[in-house]
A = this chain, B = another copy of it.
Amino acid sequence: MAQRTREDALSRERIVEAAVELLDAAGERGLTFRTLTERLATGPGAIYWHVANKAELLDAATDSLISDALAVDPTGSPEEEIRVLALGLFEAIARHPWLSTQLAVQLSRSPWGSVTPRIFESIGQRVSALGVPEATWFTATSALAHYIFGAAGQNAANVRVLDGVDRAEFLHAAASAWEDLDSGEFPFMKSIAGQVREHDDREQFLTGIDLILTGITAQGRD
Protein backbone atom coordinates (compact mmCIF):
# COMPACT_ATOMS: atom_id res chain seq x y z
CA MET A 1 0.00 0.00 0.00
CA ALA A 2 1.19 3.49 -0.84
CA GLN A 3 2.70 5.70 1.83
CA ARG A 4 0.09 7.77 3.60
CA THR A 5 0.17 11.47 2.90
CA ARG A 6 -0.13 14.04 5.64
CA GLU A 7 -3.81 14.51 4.80
CA ASP A 8 -5.09 10.97 5.17
CA ALA A 9 -2.77 10.05 8.03
CA LEU A 10 -4.40 7.99 10.75
CA SER A 11 -4.97 9.51 14.14
CA ARG A 12 -6.98 8.67 17.20
CA GLU A 13 -9.45 11.39 16.24
CA ARG A 14 -9.98 10.11 12.72
CA ILE A 15 -10.50 6.59 14.03
CA VAL A 16 -13.05 7.71 16.61
CA GLU A 17 -14.81 9.76 13.96
CA ALA A 18 -15.07 6.78 11.64
CA ALA A 19 -16.30 4.61 14.53
CA VAL A 20 -19.11 7.07 15.27
CA GLU A 21 -20.13 7.07 11.61
CA LEU A 22 -20.30 3.29 11.53
CA LEU A 23 -22.24 3.16 14.80
CA ASP A 24 -24.70 5.77 13.55
CA ALA A 25 -25.17 3.95 10.27
CA ALA A 26 -25.72 0.45 11.59
CA GLY A 27 -25.72 0.38 15.40
CA GLU A 28 -23.24 -1.41 17.64
CA ARG A 29 -23.27 -4.39 15.32
CA GLY A 30 -22.06 -2.12 12.52
CA LEU A 31 -18.73 -1.43 14.18
CA THR A 32 -16.19 -4.21 13.80
CA PHE A 33 -12.48 -4.08 13.16
CA ARG A 34 -13.24 -5.40 9.69
CA THR A 35 -15.63 -2.57 8.75
CA LEU A 36 -13.39 -0.05 10.45
CA THR A 37 -10.20 -1.07 8.67
CA GLU A 38 -12.08 -1.15 5.38
CA ARG A 39 -13.40 2.37 5.83
CA LEU A 40 -10.00 3.69 6.88
CA ALA A 41 -8.20 1.69 4.18
CA THR A 42 -5.77 0.16 6.61
CA GLY A 43 -5.14 -2.94 8.74
CA PRO A 44 -6.05 -3.78 12.34
CA GLY A 45 -2.49 -3.23 13.51
CA ALA A 46 -2.64 0.42 12.50
CA ILE A 47 -5.73 0.98 14.62
CA TYR A 48 -4.19 -0.79 17.61
CA TRP A 49 -1.29 1.61 17.35
CA HIS A 50 -3.63 4.52 18.21
CA VAL A 51 -6.20 2.77 20.40
CA ALA A 52 -5.68 0.11 23.08
CA ASN A 53 -8.74 -2.01 22.23
CA LYS A 54 -12.36 -1.87 21.15
CA ALA A 55 -13.64 -0.92 24.60
CA GLU A 56 -11.38 2.12 24.66
CA LEU A 57 -12.54 3.07 21.19
CA LEU A 58 -16.19 2.91 22.24
CA ASP A 59 -15.40 4.90 25.37
CA ALA A 60 -13.73 7.60 23.31
CA ALA A 61 -16.68 7.76 20.90
CA THR A 62 -19.12 8.05 23.82
CA ASP A 63 -16.99 10.63 25.58
CA SER A 64 -16.77 12.96 22.63
CA LEU A 65 -20.52 13.08 22.08
CA ILE A 66 -21.45 13.41 25.74
CA SER A 67 -18.92 16.20 26.21
CA ASP A 68 -20.63 18.22 23.48
CA ALA A 69 -24.01 17.78 25.14
CA LEU A 70 -22.64 18.84 28.52
CA ALA A 71 -21.37 22.15 27.20
CA VAL A 72 -24.23 24.44 28.24
CA ASP A 73 -23.59 28.17 28.43
CA PRO A 74 -24.52 29.50 31.84
CA THR A 75 -27.23 31.98 30.93
CA GLY A 76 -30.31 31.12 32.90
CA SER A 77 -31.77 30.00 36.19
CA PRO A 78 -30.51 26.67 37.53
CA GLU A 79 -33.87 25.12 36.62
CA GLU A 80 -33.61 26.42 33.07
CA GLU A 81 -30.04 25.21 32.68
CA ILE A 82 -31.02 21.77 33.96
CA ARG A 83 -33.74 21.63 31.30
CA VAL A 84 -31.29 22.66 28.57
CA LEU A 85 -28.75 20.12 29.77
CA ALA A 86 -31.34 17.36 29.97
CA LEU A 87 -32.73 18.10 26.54
CA GLY A 88 -29.24 18.22 25.06
CA LEU A 89 -28.46 14.74 26.39
CA PHE A 90 -31.89 13.52 25.31
CA GLU A 91 -31.29 14.69 21.76
CA ALA A 92 -27.72 13.41 21.57
CA ILE A 93 -29.01 9.96 22.51
CA ALA A 94 -31.87 10.23 20.02
CA ARG A 95 -29.36 11.02 17.27
CA HIS A 96 -26.95 8.28 18.36
CA PRO A 97 -29.14 5.54 19.88
CA TRP A 98 -26.16 3.27 20.52
CA LEU A 99 -25.04 5.79 23.19
CA SER A 100 -27.72 4.46 25.50
CA THR A 101 -26.45 0.88 25.60
CA GLN A 102 -22.88 2.08 25.55
CA LEU A 103 -23.34 4.28 28.60
CA ALA A 104 -24.83 1.34 30.49
CA VAL A 105 -21.92 -0.89 29.54
CA GLN A 106 -19.39 1.76 30.44
CA LEU A 107 -21.10 2.36 33.77
CA SER A 108 -20.98 -1.33 34.60
CA ARG A 109 -17.31 -1.55 33.68
CA SER A 110 -16.14 1.38 35.76
CA PRO A 111 -18.95 3.12 37.67
CA TRP A 112 -16.97 6.23 38.42
CA GLY A 113 -14.90 6.31 35.25
CA SER A 114 -14.60 9.32 33.03
CA VAL A 115 -18.19 9.95 31.89
CA THR A 116 -20.30 9.56 35.02
CA PRO A 117 -18.41 12.10 37.15
CA ARG A 118 -18.65 14.71 34.39
CA ILE A 119 -22.40 14.17 34.04
CA PHE A 120 -22.93 14.29 37.80
CA GLU A 121 -20.74 17.36 38.04
CA SER A 122 -22.65 19.16 35.33
CA ILE A 123 -26.08 18.42 36.78
CA GLY A 124 -24.89 18.74 40.37
CA GLN A 125 -23.56 22.27 39.90
CA ARG A 126 -27.06 23.41 38.92
CA VAL A 127 -28.70 21.39 41.69
CA SER A 128 -26.48 23.02 44.29
CA ALA A 129 -27.55 26.40 42.91
CA LEU A 130 -31.22 25.62 43.56
CA GLY A 131 -30.94 26.65 47.17
CA VAL A 132 -31.86 23.30 48.70
CA PRO A 133 -29.97 21.75 51.67
CA GLU A 134 -26.61 20.25 50.81
CA ALA A 135 -27.68 16.90 52.29
CA THR A 136 -30.16 16.48 49.40
CA TRP A 137 -27.77 17.33 46.57
CA PHE A 138 -26.52 13.87 45.77
CA THR A 139 -29.93 12.18 45.78
CA ALA A 140 -31.40 14.99 43.68
CA THR A 141 -28.59 14.85 41.14
CA SER A 142 -28.84 11.10 41.02
CA ALA A 143 -32.61 11.17 40.41
CA LEU A 144 -32.18 13.65 37.55
CA ALA A 145 -29.27 11.80 35.94
CA HIS A 146 -30.95 8.40 36.03
CA TYR A 147 -34.24 9.76 34.74
CA ILE A 148 -32.47 11.53 31.88
CA PHE A 149 -30.60 8.45 30.70
CA GLY A 150 -33.47 6.07 31.24
CA ALA A 151 -36.05 8.19 29.47
CA ALA A 152 -33.60 9.08 26.70
CA GLY A 153 -32.76 5.41 26.24
CA GLN A 154 -36.40 4.47 26.05
CA ASN A 155 -36.93 7.21 23.50
CA ALA A 156 -33.90 6.14 21.49
CA ALA A 157 -35.25 2.61 21.39
CA ASN A 158 -38.54 3.92 20.07
CA VAL A 159 -36.70 5.98 17.46
CA ARG A 160 -34.86 2.88 16.31
CA VAL A 161 -38.06 0.90 15.99
CA LEU A 162 -39.69 3.80 14.15
CA ASP A 163 -36.89 3.93 11.60
CA GLY A 164 -38.63 3.98 8.25
CA VAL A 165 -42.08 3.55 9.78
CA ASP A 166 -44.73 6.23 9.90
CA ARG A 167 -44.72 7.54 13.46
CA ALA A 168 -48.43 8.35 13.82
CA GLU A 169 -49.40 5.05 12.31
CA PHE A 170 -47.08 3.14 14.59
CA LEU A 171 -48.26 4.90 17.74
CA HIS A 172 -51.83 4.32 16.74
CA ALA A 173 -51.21 0.61 16.25
CA ALA A 174 -49.27 0.32 19.52
CA ALA A 175 -51.95 2.18 21.49
CA SER A 176 -54.66 0.03 19.99
CA ALA A 177 -52.71 -3.11 20.86
CA TRP A 178 -52.53 -1.98 24.48
CA GLU A 179 -56.19 -1.13 24.57
CA ASP A 180 -56.92 -4.66 23.46
CA LEU A 181 -54.81 -6.08 26.28
CA ASP A 182 -56.41 -8.27 28.86
CA SER A 183 -57.62 -5.75 31.42
CA GLY A 184 -57.10 -8.32 34.16
CA GLU A 185 -53.36 -8.44 33.57
CA PHE A 186 -52.58 -4.99 32.18
CA PRO A 187 -55.18 -2.53 33.47
CA PHE A 188 -52.67 0.30 33.82
CA MET A 189 -51.13 -0.02 30.36
CA LYS A 190 -54.63 -0.19 28.99
CA SER A 191 -55.70 2.99 30.77
CA ILE A 192 -52.77 5.08 29.50
CA ALA A 193 -52.89 3.76 25.94
CA GLY A 194 -54.90 6.76 24.78
CA GLN A 195 -52.27 9.26 25.94
CA VAL A 196 -49.58 7.51 23.92
CA ARG A 197 -51.40 8.18 20.68
CA GLU A 198 -50.74 11.91 20.63
CA HIS A 199 -47.92 12.69 23.00
CA ASP A 200 -44.85 14.75 22.13
CA ASP A 201 -41.65 12.98 23.13
CA ARG A 202 -39.65 16.04 24.15
CA GLU A 203 -42.57 17.63 25.98
CA GLN A 204 -43.26 14.47 27.94
CA PHE A 205 -39.58 14.11 28.77
CA LEU A 206 -39.41 17.66 30.12
CA THR A 207 -42.56 17.10 32.16
CA GLY A 208 -40.64 14.34 33.92
CA ILE A 209 -37.73 16.71 34.59
CA ASP A 210 -40.14 19.23 36.09
CA LEU A 211 -41.70 16.52 38.24
CA ILE A 212 -38.32 15.71 39.72
CA LEU A 213 -37.44 19.40 40.13
CA THR A 214 -40.72 19.83 42.02
CA GLY A 215 -39.76 16.92 44.26
CA ILE A 216 -36.32 18.38 44.89
CA THR A 217 -37.53 21.80 45.97
CA ALA A 218 -40.54 20.42 47.89
CA GLN A 219 -38.43 17.92 49.79
CA GLY A 220 -35.75 20.51 50.39
CA ARG A 221 -38.34 22.59 52.24
CA ASP A 222 -39.23 20.23 55.10
Q: Which of A9-17, A37-45, A151-159 contacts B (4 or more CB under 8 A)?
A: A151-159
| With known contacts A108-B101, A207-B139, A189–B121 Cβ distance under 8 A | yes
Q: Which of A60-68, A75-83, A210-218 contacts B (4 or more CB under 8 A)?
A: A210-218
Interface membership of A187, Cβ < 8 A: yes
CB distance from A196 to the nearest CB of B (A): 8
Closest to A136 in B: B211
Closest to A126 in B: B188
Copies in the complex: 2
Assembled-state Cα–Cα distance A145/B15 (Å): 37
Query: B150 contacts A204, CB within 8 Å?
Result: no
CB distance from A43 to the nearest CB of B (A): 26
Query: A157 contacts B108, CB within 8 Å?
Result: yes
Query: B156 contacts A124, CB within 8 Å?
Result: no
Interface residue from B101, B107, B139, B147 paired with A153 (Cβ < 8 Å): B107
CB distance from A70 to the nearest CB of B (A): 12
Across-interface contacts of A127 in B (CB, < 8 A): 188
CB distance from A221 to the nearest CB of B (A): 10
State which residues 131-162 of A face B: CB under 8 Å: 134-143, 145-147, 149-151, 153-154, 156-158, 160-161
A sample of 30 cross-chain residue pairs with beta-carbon separation below 8 angstroms, ordered by A number, consists of A100-B107, A101-B108, A104-B105, A107-B153, A109-B157, A111-B154, A111-B158, A117-B186, A121-B185, A135-B195, A136-B211, A137-B188, A137-B191, A138-B199, A139-B208, A141-B188, A142-B154, A142-B208, A143-B208, A143-B212, A145-B150, A146-B149, A146-B151, A146-B154, A149-B150, A211-B219, A212-B215, A214-B214, A214-B219, A218-B218
